[in-house]
Structure 1
């Protein structure tokens, strides 16, 4: 069994196999050694292992002399928002494996600035973990924990912050009926409450937030292939649109009134259509995000900056550039004016904002989005030889090819690009390709897949 994965996306592993109580305690101990004692916030999604992990995290924090604020089951972005806006909070821990299968779980570590750890901060924790001696704490001579407190209003505060932000002033969706699919995850209640906050009526499906016992009711990622039940609900109930989230609520996608899933790549584009006319500024996305966002940004005369994959990398560039909007092609939207993390509630609010005037339906808005064909594939190999892949570029592609090796390798040419990299969350290779036609994208993927398997 390989070691659990610890990267800028946090710690992830399979509970009972490579994610043990001892590893959890070690990570929390070095985390507190890094940030220091204080008040720490804990939130979790609905995975069956979450309750036990919550107990381990909470008890470890208290043993190290920290005060614990329990948010219970709540979206990941709500935990980050709470840390950023609640005075006197030293940091936070989110117990989730995001879009990974139910058997997985993990920890996302929140910095006191209200963001996840940057790469060099993670590297420092990794160094401390390598030198960790079992049974020896990095925080000595503590008198025990200060206490544990329950906070029930974090989601309400988060939604209020969105609703009262000037970007959403005047948004009124009275009369709209919205399907809400939270995959029985952390957004089960929050997603419906956000819809109500803007005056619309939520029609829930897969919004049972009790800890799961068997499996998610659909695939955990809000991709079109996983949203067939939501699409059926929208059509059968004649709803105006449908919202879909991943298990911890940081990824979002939607379904139009015809029951057509727009896909997670459309999420950042829709957010751009709403935010950029109201808050002029650049956009930050990762290397695997559709070039459609570049077309959207060009309409408003702003630039797009690209980073390595990993939310923390996007957030860092947002802070460096002062950009107005950030996100990723996985359905993540980051609006620094409200939150320094991918926020499914913010993403949903931007769609409600687009529809609030009542002049265009989501299907009509879909027609305004640039039309590209994007393919995402997972290649089940543990790694690949970048240099040999680059050497093969002349054989794979014709014409002038631009090569970016800042994160795996990304090849791009006239009207197409393909990105190949090691996953931050699973022991696989992720391959993303985009072109103006399906046939061209499929040909690129086929060629690269063959090369990857051939150089391993």
Structure 2
């Protein structure tokens, strides 16, 4: 089934993500995990209200109890699963940053480990595919007498966040937050009401049709309103959440976007002050500045594949303190290796407060190269393109990796081309020692990909 992706279930509603399919997935999830109690949350998409009762039907028909944690961001959902002993697993109804016509499901075990393409999702897909229409009738009938419990988790989540970052460590900064009409508008007010900052909210109204812009901070066009507001309000920093608020982007006081890998470097630097020598991971699209910053601050580092399931697994295996992705996901050992955007935001506010300099000056200390940003290509034969790149560059490269797509490192420049795990495209990231070389090499590689 095409809705089963590398990390989750996602598709168009109601063409692909139907109440019937979601019901069957709920039943299969319980059978696969053996969960007795499942926490279920949802974001603000209107279709979530349609899918939620049928997901509950499937879960309860398989013999498990449902605890409704209500409208939640994905970090808040994660917290609701891992911090209460009675919750064996959880399902979140969300399509993250995808447009309004999409919805989907994210899955989590009670210990915080995800269920993805290499950790159970194919088995659940197989179970769903084997169900018949008669099974669906039985599922509905078997769940009729079951009750859905409810649980409020926001206060406990706030207590957890502020047990790790003291309010007194944050100055009365001028902050702009763009929630993009997503779940950040539900959580951010609770955070900032405790802080001495002066916060200007943007698009905090929960609206799953995303009337102002797509809630995806990795796309520069979605950051323009935030950039303008930071400049016009003379703010010290701006933040932008994605739809389910598990990612966060940042803009400095000059209105310039700070890329996700540079945010990783800044967070690593801050965390290493309290955890000297810790191991930190970053995805292979990241600037070399990240590894250099970690080494300069006395930490250990390693690169990872792209994708939360791979990163969380590697963090556990290597006992990593922290990991960051270019896409704006930031993972913390303190939160069971899960991506918690709100904690990243608080750490960044603390860093800016303690440093005292403008954010742009702090960023300038860790940016040493010219990066292309991520460039996407629609190609008919992805493997043919990758084979062509290998034939052209492998023998010339000082280092080569096929960990995730292909990565060629020539010393003063490098690039990675990888197939998307969620879309039918190839993604290029390239970095060089200066702007001139970056533009030259980008044109060269783009020509080969496009030929």
- Is TM (by shorter chain) over 0.5? yes
Alignment check: 8 A CA contact 1:383 1:422 kept? no
Match of 2:147 in 1: 147
Counterpart CA distance in 2 for 1:171 and 1:380 is: 49
Q: 1:28 to 1:398 in 2, by over 3 A?
A: same
Query: Is 2:215 aligned against 1:217?
Result: no
Summarize deviations over 1:300-336 as a string: whole Å, max 9, x none. 2222222221101111111111111112111111111
CA RMSD of aligned residues (A): 2.6
Q: 1:145 to 1:160 in 2, by over 3 A?
A: farther
Range 67-76 or range 244-253, more displaced: 67-76
Summarize deviations over 1:97-137 as a string: whole Å, max 9, x none. 11222222111111111232252322333443444444437
Equivalent position SS for 1:179: strand
Match of 1:35 in 2: 33
| Number of residue-to-residue matches in the alignment | 446
Alignment check: 8 A CA contact 2:234 2:253 kept? yes
Q: 1:47 to 1:292 in 2, by over 3 A?
A: farther
Range 286-295 or range 90-99, more displaced: 286-295
Q: 1:236 to 1:360 in 2, by over 3 A?
A: same
Unaligned runs of 5+ in 2: none
C-alpha deviation, 1:238, in angstroms: 2.1
Summarize deviations over 1:6-33 as a string: whole Å, max 9, x none. 2342011111222223332232222111
Alignment check: 8 A CA contact 1:416 1:435 kept? yes
Range 417-426 or range 200-209, more displaced: 417-426
Summarize deviations over 1:246-305 as a string: whole Å, max 9, x none. 111111111222222213332212211211111231112222233222012111222222
Instruction: Kindly indicate which of the two structures has a greater share of residues assigned to helix.
Output: 2
Alignment check: 8 A CA contact 1:252 1:267 kept? no
Counterpart CA distance in 2 for 1:227 and 1:141 is: 48
Alignment check: 8 A CA contact 1:68 1:148 kept? yes
Summarize deviations over 1:359-388 as a string: whole Å, max 9, x none. 2231221122223313212212365116x6
Match of 2:91 in 1: 93
Match of 2:406 in 1: 409
C-alpha deviation, 1:228, in angstroms: 1.6
Query: Is 2:236 aligned against 1:240?
Result: yes
Equivalent position SS for 1:61: helix
- 1:161-176 equivalent positions in 2, closer than 5 A: 161-165=160-164, 168-169=165-166, 171-176=168-173
Q: 1:437 to 1:219 in 2, by over 3 A?
A: farther
Match of 1:13 in 2: 11
Counterpart of 1:420 (choices 404, 408, 417) is: 417
Match of 1:257 in 2: 253
Equivalent position SS for 2:396: coil
Counterpart CA distance in 2 for 1:5 and 1:421 is: 21
Equivalent position SS for 1:403: strand
Question: What TM-score comes out, normalization by structure 2 length?
Answer: 0.90
Match of 2:158 in 1: 159
Match of 2:288 in 1: 291
Alignment check: 8 A CA contact 1:183 1:220 kept? yes
Q: 1:56 to 1:444 in 2, by over 3 A?
A: farther
Equivalent position SS for 1:267: helix
